[in-house]
Each structure stands twice: as structure tokens, then as C-alpha cells.
Amino acid sequence: MVTSAHEGMHRIFQERPEILTPVFGVLGIALPEKAAVYAITPDVTETRPIARHIDTALRVCPSDGEDFLLAVESQERRDDRKELSWPYYVAYLQSKYKLPVLLLVLCRDRATAKWAAGPFDCGTRGWTVQRTFPLVVGPDNLPMITDARTAARNPAMAAFSALTHANNRDCDAILDALDHALTGVDTEASDYIYQFLDVTLGETPAGDKWRSIMGFVNYFPGRGHLMERAYLEGEAKGEVKGILRVLEVRGVPVSDDTRERITTCTDLDRLNDWLDRAGTVDHAEDLFAGEADEADGSEGSPESV
């Protein structure tokens, strides 16, 4: 269940990978619309103490080239500690996964965005050993989408525009345009975006505005009421779609029995585990390695009636 802004960011990239194409476009980096995106563990903690966690870590599988890792950080204000941790994240992920790494930093104000662009150098006595250039998305390079027709053409990008410009006094215009645009979007997609912004805008004036638009307040989180169950079911469907898509892009055949086991699972933790494995397994059945066969003994033989 989505419980934080960071988790919401993680989900929108994972379940709506089409948003990556226009975001990369404003950064001048080509990325095809057809790409599989799935989460990898954001834990970059070494065996001994200091715990370090990236906000979001994704493996991107473009249709036109090599896979790469995308580390995403949401930065509200300048934090000089990140000048040391960000280079570490990049080096660690490259070493662990043997893939190129891009670091994307999301900022809501210009001063933070300017600082986050770096570069951040490691060196001494006139020699630079390592230099880190984060990609930065902020108010200066992500447009304000205040036109409902534009928002309707790319509602995911409009949602991202609202998030990036949340501190702008004109953010209400973005939210109004997006709300109008979502009336023409299929229910599953619109519900997802409504919930995503509810989570990621948080307790801000923009968040309050969005919740007034939604007209829904979850007074009993975790109690399993109808809307919450529907949302969790939507989360599970998104995980299932991601697993099958990654296997398809990698050319891994999926038998009918395996497909049924994946599509009927509603355990989000298990689905997340399968999604992580989908990027490395040689056979779809290997997703379930180490798990007891739930079918054994769970159902008796069919009886004639």
C-alpha cells in the first residue's frame, strides 16, 4: 500500500513508464515510448552500519538499446550530505548490477534544482577522480500544464507537472486542468493518478486543493473498506502487468499455469519479489523458486455432481 511520497514516486514510474519519455525529453535524452520498467531494491547498505536508501531505484529496459538503472531522488531543499551519498549510490549500483546508471533528482524550487545539478567532484590537488552530474527536473525545465486538452493528451505528465510546481501559487490551475482531463480517461488510470497525487502532494496547500477536488478522505486507513480494497486490487494488477511485461520484453516464455499463478496472486509483497526476479530468471517458473507449491494440497480432486 502506498504510504509515502517516495513510494508514490516509485509507483508512478514503475506502473506508468510512459511518463519517462517526456521527462527525459525535457532533459535532452532520447528514450523510446516502448520500455519495460521495474523496481529493484533501493537498499544500498553495506554489511556494516551506515544505512543508505535511494528514494526509488528502477531498471529500465528500452526497446531500442541496452538496459540501464535509474536512481530517483526527491529533494525538497539543499542537503550537502547528498553531495557525498549521490556519487556513492551511482558507484554502488553500477558495481552491483553491472549496468550504466543515471541519477534523476526531482525538485520543487529553483534554488534546490540549481544546486542539485552539480557537478559534485571527488578529488584533490588538482586531480578529479570522480565527477557526478545528476539529471534534474524542476520548475525551470518541466512546463506548467494548465490547459485541459494538453493534460488529456498526457495525464501522467500533467500529474508530474503538478508535483514539480506544487509550491507555485498557480498550481491550482494545473490541478483544475488535470481534473478536467481525467474525466475522459479510463477509470483505472484516472483513479491511479488521483491517488498518486493525493499521496505525493502530502500535507501542502496543493495537496489540500487536490483532496477537495477528489472529494474523498480516507478516515479509516488499513481497515479494508471498499475504496481501499479497490485501490489495493489496482496495485496488485499493476504488479502483475509489470511482471508479465518484463518477461515478455526479455523473451521468457510463460506457460498458462504460470500465467494463472501470477495473475491470481493478490499478495503485494510476493508480487514485488516476483517483479524483482523477472529481470534475471531464465525460465518463468524460476520466479517461484524456494516457495512451496500453493497448489499442493490446497484443493481436492474435482467431484462429480
Q: Higher confidence at residue 165 or residue 227?
A: 165
pTM for the predicted model, two decimal places: 0.57
Rounded Cα distance, 58 and 56, in Å: 7
Q: 43: which DSSP letter?
A: B
Rounded Cα distance, 245 and 233, in Å: 18
Residues 6+ apart with CB under 8 A from 217: 211
Residue 189: pLDDT over 80: no
When the pLDDT of each residue in the chain is averaged and rounded to a whole number, the result is 78
Residue burial 49-68, b: 16+ Cβ < 10 Å; e: rest = eeeeebbbbbbbbbeeeebb
Q: Higher confidence at residue 42 or residue 155?
A: 155
Residue 120: pLDDT over 70: yes
Rounded Cα distance, 144 and 195, in Å: 20
